[in-house]
Chains A and B, each alone.
Chain A
């Protein structure tokens, strides 16, 4: 499974756009990139997944460059409720995924 590296923590203010970048230099051809969000006392929640270029849903956007060695999760206009830990995972979906340390996002008023 490809190893991922992401910042330990980030701070932002309400209404700002937040970009969290994840490095995955050893990503394999069949690997997808998936992001999860975890609030305290809850299980991780799926946010978005992608293989290449850009993916957008109602919650976030995922940008993946052509070499796929990194990816950026973009959260538009964050609110206090976006304070959480965000995990970047790389692997073949449907199988086991390894979680890294995640990025702790703190949104301030």
Chain B
């Protein structure tokens, strides 16, 4: 199994630009999570999906952030417009969604907004 695949690995953009981060979960996993990691705030849960349906988006910072999961094998996290304070490593994780199934993380996308 290839694990959770995220793209791109690195993204550098200018303030005001739209940024789209992509995630392919592990096949067969029905829960998908987006986390953000910074030195100041650590790992923060942004949103998670179960069976492609958003369950909890209370961690999404503001309306500039949006996430979609059009099918079981793909999810996007979009920031529009981006700001320097959005600079962070964004992780996607997936799990079987069962009571005792652990999260499997991708290697993240390092976003730098200048």
Contact = CB atoms under 8 A, between A and B. Distances in A.
A43 B102 contact: no
Interface in A37-74: 41-46, 49
Contact of A101 (B31, B42, B102): B42
Contacts of A101: 42
B96 to A, nearest CB: 7
Interface residues of B, number: 27
Given A43-B91, A43-B93, A97 B100 contact: no
Interface residues of A, number: 22
A41 B45 contact: no
B99 A93 contact: yes
A34 interface: yes
Interface of A: 32, 34, 36, 41-46, 49, 87, 92-102
Interface of B: 4, 31, 33, 35, 42-45, 48, 55-56, 91, 93, 95-108
